[in-house]
Amino acid sequence: MLFKKIGLAITFSPNGLPLLKSALRLKNLFNSGLCLIHVGEKNTETQSQIDQLIQKAGISRSSFELVWKKGEPAKSIINAASEYNVDLLIAGALEKENVIKYYLGSVARTIMSESPCSVLILTNPHLEPEQFKKFCVSVDFTPLGETAVKKSYEFAKLENANEFFLVKEFEVPGLAITVYDSRSIDDTEKSKQEWQIEEEGKLKLFARELNLKGLDYSTVALFGKQGWEARNFVKENSSDLFVVPSPPKKLKFFDKLFQHDIEFILSRLPCSLLIIRN
């Protein structure tokens, strides 16, 4: 099973119902459990509002568990996900958050950075949920990177996706020194082309060793700053789901000032984003 239990925080925002319907679609697609989390006071009025939302979404009462939490929303949602063994947490987010939210944080950003499980951020959920047809996966040659590719590939097969891209960014240490020493743009460009071919070869070998079968895929090696190049590729290619392995540590305020590669992606989502965690 790709994901055993999906978690979603129920809210009464305009995106509340579209997110519920998206969670239901994925629950059926993955044949998984569903945990609905509400952060707030439990009373008759709130219970009635939740019941109405669930009914509008077409979710049967026997197919989910409802969890009530109090406290700061992001932390409460994260704690509930851990407590109830959620392995995919769904949340909504704006494609680009304003500066105040970026530096002070938001519920979605905290969930993206600190969730104990995989996270799916839907930038534009619809009342009639749509399938993901163009997948783009950011590759790193680590065990978690392999897991990210395998999970997203199985996801893409379930969706009968049209396109599946494996993207590997690379930088060349000492390139500026090479340019200075050679004093030749032609020599530098030739070196870049050689590095490009080498990286593409590594990526193709990585993909072959994963034995991906059942869906055609493409490999793309991108030269440039990590995070920036992949995001631009996803945007220009009009992908509708970008998959990344989780960064190795929680991002702090310092990382936001001197951006970690994934921090750039989180602050300027090119499309819906799936962060894979073990």
Closest by alpha carbon to 172, among 205, 197, 149?
197
**Strand order of the sheet with strand 272-276?**
65-69, 33-39, 5-9, 88-92, 118-122, 272-276, 241-245, 134-138, 163-170, 218-223
Per-residue pLDDT averaged across 89-106, rounded? 58
Of 232 and 4, the one with more pLDDT: 4
Task: Tell me the two tokens of residue 20.
Answer: 């519920």
At 105, the pLDDT band (50, 70, 90 cuts) reads: very low
Of 27-31, 89-93, 155-159, 244-248, the poorest mean pLDDT is in: 244-248
Tens-digit pLDDT profile for residues 159-217 = 999 999 999 988 765 554 455 455 566 666 777 788 888 989 999 999 999 999 999 99
Summary mean pLDDT of the chain: 85
In the chain, the domains with their CATH numbers are: 1-130 (3.40.50.620), 133-243 (3.40.50.620)
Q: Whole-prediction pTM value?
A: 0.87
Which of 12-16, 17-21, 212-216 has the least mean pLDDT?
12-16
The tens digit of pLDDT for each residue in 56-84 reads 999 998 899 999 999 999 999 999 999 99
230-253 pLDDT tens trace: 888 999 999 999 999 987 655 554
pLDDT of the residue at 225: 76
Confidence of residue 259 (pLDDT cuts 50, 70, 90): very low
- The answer to whether the CB of 67 falls within 8 A of the CB of 116 is no
